[in-house]
């Protein structure tokens, strides 16, 4: 595929340090395609070396896409086989491609060692350190992790003199527990430090130091989806981009993260990074994704970013089908309509994998997922983080591993006040606080007692006899059991020698099954099945760790240090190995669908939802659709006639012209020739088929270890 004139203008924009190029790229304009060709052009014309290019994005999804397609792009542009396969691979692997948080994490770990990024279980553990009186003083009836996060954020921004929150901040600092914003701040501080080059090392050798490479080596910084940047990221972006050529790709119409802070402020600040005459703006006004009918509907919501000085933008031909808009008041009727439409589409030329269902909320998506399950329609949820990492049971297992590793190598760390602190404290607090019967008061009292003695919480509960504990601690037998169980495993030291994933999972599941952890008391077969699936995913990530683990680290250490990154690698490999077949229907929030496209998109709101959808979110949802867009119960003042009643829909199954257009657009070839008779036959077959579903599991031993005493009877 050749570049359009608009893409060519971006490609040939010259490299020059201390300049900014902003590329306003509308939906389906070939933004990623242009970005990849820009990287190739910089290297091929020898303006820049491969290892002098840094590509950043905010999501793993966007990074995965760039990594997936970068090598393919270089292969396609390898004229006359100038480079061998191995040479191309070496060139591509030198280009730095990271999420902003992934880059920050690598900097911080390099400079400080392993840190904890706080998750749901961590917030709940911290809640146990706060008394009910504190929440009453704030007029807060129900304490929750989200409320604590907001109070912590407010404290850091305003430097309030709140002793309780100050205490929480101190615990987090002492135990190296970071929020995502903390991670960015710490990485920025390290990037501001001067790093000395060892005597005898060349500058190139010193770039083995990742932080120094960020400071000195890179000359071009490309940021994908710049409209997603928020103020907390600004310091690290400015530090990384200073003195380099900064190239920003994005679409301000798709700015939908305003709750994190105003993107407009970030863009204005980046515009001031270089002198005004060194700032340039180019436009990608082509559209290879959406049909003109969908674009016409989207522009009723927001006008396209457009350069009126150029009229050479490329658009698709019309499909003849306008967006399908419905208002269905009954919730069950809405879900039944969805199933019927999916069956009709799958009976025509569409695969299940062509179809995406988008909504604003995860709760609505879960309702849809439950209904699709009843009919056995295959689906998968798309999310910014894999489901297995969001499972509180998996988080508990990982926290147990952290207790074992940190307590085994326990050593005091001096904080700025010259007081000994302990890395293991946070993981002990988190795991203890999740056990039944161990309340807020017990956690608070134990932590205070260990602090007064100048020892870690782990040493306190394992070395101080229970009769010497403060008398106000109830259910001390449960705490004593927790300490005995973990101490037995920790003393054996076996965790360090386990180099097989199944053995490590067996090991930690043996510990978990001896603790009174409520979420392991499964309330249904469905709940237990979900956990089985997530444990299998954890096993696969551990398996991946065995292939890239450094020789000087144990499997448990490497897993704890890299499981977030390994999840991304696994996802990348999984995409590459997906089979052809009919695939599965995609379910996603509108926010998580950003950057993706689907041949057919159902944009939905709950049947009884009266809250209107904002312009940017609606625009993003609509422009995910390539060929066919359904909008069901979308509340917006400009979603109305003339496309509320669409007569075309009734004839969609028999619309030969549209399905020929559809197959041609997706390059499906002769194997998808239209036939009304075949479509009607397929529709009847699907109606008969979808009545049950089955699921399978291959990881039995560890699941039995954890689940056996909790299985519903």
Q: How far is CA 77 from the centre of its chain?
A: 31
Cβ proximity of 134 and 147 under 8 Å: no
194 is in an annotated binding site: no
Read off the pLDDT of residues 482-498 as tens digits, 9 standing for 90 and up. Answer: 999 998 888 888 888 89
Residue-level pLDDT at 56:
95
370 by DSSP, 3-state: which?
helix
Cis peptide, bond prior to residue 278, ω within 30 of zero: no
Residue-level pLDDT at 50:
95
Percentage of the chain beyond pLDDT 70 is 85
Cβ proximity of 591 and 362 under 8 Å: no
Residue ranges of the chain with per-residue pLDDT less than 50? 202-203, 205, 412-420, 576, 578-579, 642-650, 691-698, 709-713
pTM of the complete model: 0.76
What does CATH list as the number for 316-378+583-704?
Answer: 3.40.50
297 is in an annotated binding site: no
Residue-level pLDDT at 711:
46
Nearest alpha-carbon partner for 325 in 712, 643, 672, 4 = 643
Residue-level pLDDT at 186:
92
Nearest alpha-carbon partner for 430 in 146, 129, 691 = 129
CATH class of 388-412+422-555: mainly alpha
Angle between helices 120-127 and 145-158 (to 10 degrees): 80
What does CATH list as the number for 5-108+190-194+207-288?
Answer: 3.40.50.300
- Where, residue-wise, is CATH 1.10.486.10 in the chain? 388-412+422-555
CB atoms within 10 A of CB 376: 12
**Which backbone phi and psi does 250 adopt, to 5 degrees?**
170, -175
Report the sign of the C-alpha dihedral through residues 665, 667, 668, 672, in that order: positive
26 is in an annotated binding site: yes
Nearest alpha-carbon partner for 622 in 602, 646, 647, 649 = 602
Euclidean distance between CA atoms 534 and 518, whole angstroms: 18
Describe the strand order of the beta sheet including 355-359 as a list of residue ranges: 324-326, 625-632, 598-604, 355-359, 585-589, 379-381
To the nearest whole number, what is the mean pLDDT of the chain?
A: 83
Residue 152 is classified by DSSP as H
Report the sign of the C-alpha dihedral through residues 183, 185, 188, 194, in that order: negative
Euclidean distance between CA atoms 173 and 432, whole angstroms: 20
711 by DSSP, 3-state: which?
coil
28 is in an annotated binding site: yes
Residue-level pLDDT at 573:
58
Residue-level pLDDT at 691:
46
- Where, residue-wise, is CATH 3.40.50.300 in the chain? 5-108+190-194+207-288
Euclidean distance between CA atoms 347 and 683, whole angstroms: 5
665 by DSSP, 3-state: which?
helix
Euclidean distance between CA atoms 59 and 49, whole angstroms: 25
**Which backbone phi and psi does 35 adopt, to 5 degrees?**
-60, -45
25 is in an annotated binding site: yes
512 is in an annotated binding site: no
Nearest alpha-carbon partner for 360 in 584, 611, 599, 144 = 611
Nearest alpha-carbon partner for 590 in 605, 575, 610 = 605
30 is in an annotated binding site: yes
With the CA atoms of 704, 706, 709 and 713 taken in that order, what torsion angle do they form, in degrees rounded to the nearest 10?
-60
């Amino acid at each position: 595929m050749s570049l359009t004139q608009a893409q060519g203008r971006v490609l040939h924009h010259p490299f020059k340090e201390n300049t900014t190029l902003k590329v306003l790229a509308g939906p389906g304009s070939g933004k990623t395609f242009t970005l990849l060709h820009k990287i190739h052009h910089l290297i091929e014309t020898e303006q820049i070396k491969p290892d002098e290019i840094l590509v950043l994005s905010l999501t793993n999804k966007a990074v995965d896409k760039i990594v997936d397609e970068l090598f393919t792009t270089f292969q396609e542009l390898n004229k006359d086989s100038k480079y061998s396969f191995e040479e191309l691979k070496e060139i591509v692997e030198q280009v730095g491609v990271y999420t902003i948080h992934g880059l920050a994490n690598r900097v911080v770990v390099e400079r400080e060692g392993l840190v904890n990024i706080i998750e749901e279980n961590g917030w709940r553990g911290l809640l146990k350190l706060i008394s009910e009186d504190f929440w009453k003083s704030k007029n807060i009836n129900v304490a929750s992790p989200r409320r604590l996060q907001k109070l912590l954020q407010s404290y850091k921004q305003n430097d309030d003199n709140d002793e309780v929150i100050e205490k929480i901040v101190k615990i987090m600092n002492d135990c190296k527990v970071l929020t995502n914003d903390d991670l960015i701040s710490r990485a920025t501080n390290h990037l501001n430090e001067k790093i000395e080059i060892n005597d005898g090392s060349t500058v190139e050798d010193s770039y083995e130091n990742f932080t120094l490479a960020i400071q000195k080596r890179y000359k071009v910084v490309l940021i994908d989806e710049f409209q997603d940047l928020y103020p907390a990221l600004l310091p690290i972006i400015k530090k990384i981009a200073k003195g380099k050529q900064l190239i920003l790709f994005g679409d301000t119409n798709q700015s939908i993260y305003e709750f994190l802070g105003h993107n407009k402020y970030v863009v204005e600040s980046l515009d001031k990074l270089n002198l005004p005459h060194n700032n340039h703006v180019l436009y990608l006004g082509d559209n290879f994704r959406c049909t003109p009918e969908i674009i016409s509907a989207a522009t009723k919501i927001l006008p396209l970013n457009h350069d009126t000085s150029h009229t050479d933008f490329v658009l698709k031909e019309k499909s003849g089908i306008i967006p399908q808009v419905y208002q269905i008041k009954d919730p069950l009727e809405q879900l039944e309509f969805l199933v019927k439409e999916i069956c009709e589409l799958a009976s025509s030329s569409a695969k299940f994998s062509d179809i995406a269902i988008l909504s604003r909320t995860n709760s609505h998506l879960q309702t849809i997922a439950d209904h699709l399950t009843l009919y056995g329609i295959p689906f998968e949820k798309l999310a910014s983080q894999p489901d297995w990492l969001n499972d509180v049971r998996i988080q508990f297992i990982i926290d147990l591993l952290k207790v074992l590793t940190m307590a085994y190598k326990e050593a005091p760390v001096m904080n700025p006040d010259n007081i000994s602190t302990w890395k293991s404290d946070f993981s002990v607090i988190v795991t203890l606080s999740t056990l039944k019967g161990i309340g807020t008061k017990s956690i608070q009292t134990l932590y205070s007692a260990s602090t007064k003695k100048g020892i870690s919480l782990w040493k306190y509960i394992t070395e101080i006899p229970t009769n010497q504990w403060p008398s106000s601690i109830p259910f001390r037998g449960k705490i004593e059991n927790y300490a005995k169980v973990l101490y037995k495993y920790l003393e054996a030291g076996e965790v360090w020698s386990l180099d097989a994933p199944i053995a490590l999972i067996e090991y930690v599941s043996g510990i978990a099954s001896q603790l009174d952890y409520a979420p392991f008391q499964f309330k249904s077969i469905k709940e237990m099945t979900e956990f089985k699936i997530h444990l299998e995913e954890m096993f696969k990530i551990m398996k991946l760790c065995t292939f890239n683990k450094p020789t000087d680290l144990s499997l448990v250490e490497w897993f704890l240090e890299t499981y977030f990154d390994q999840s991304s690698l696994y996802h990348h490999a999984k995409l590459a190995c997906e089979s052809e077949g009919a695939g599965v229907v995609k379910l996603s929030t509108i926010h998580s669908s950003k950057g993706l496209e689907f041949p057919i998109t159902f944009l939905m709101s709950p049947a009884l939802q009266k809250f209107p959808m904002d312009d940017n979110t609606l625009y993003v949802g609509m422009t995910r659709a390539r060929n066919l867009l359904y909008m069901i119960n979308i509340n917006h003042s400009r979603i109305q006639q003339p496309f509320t009643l669409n007569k075309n829909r009734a004839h969609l199954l028999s619309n030969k012209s549209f399905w020929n257009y559809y197959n041609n657009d997706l390059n499906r070839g002769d194997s998808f020739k239209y036939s009304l008779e075949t479509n009607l036959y397929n529709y009847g077959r699907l109606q008969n088929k979808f009545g049950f579903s089955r699921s399978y599991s291959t990881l039995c031993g560890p699941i039995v270890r954890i689940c056996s005493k909790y299985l519903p009877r």
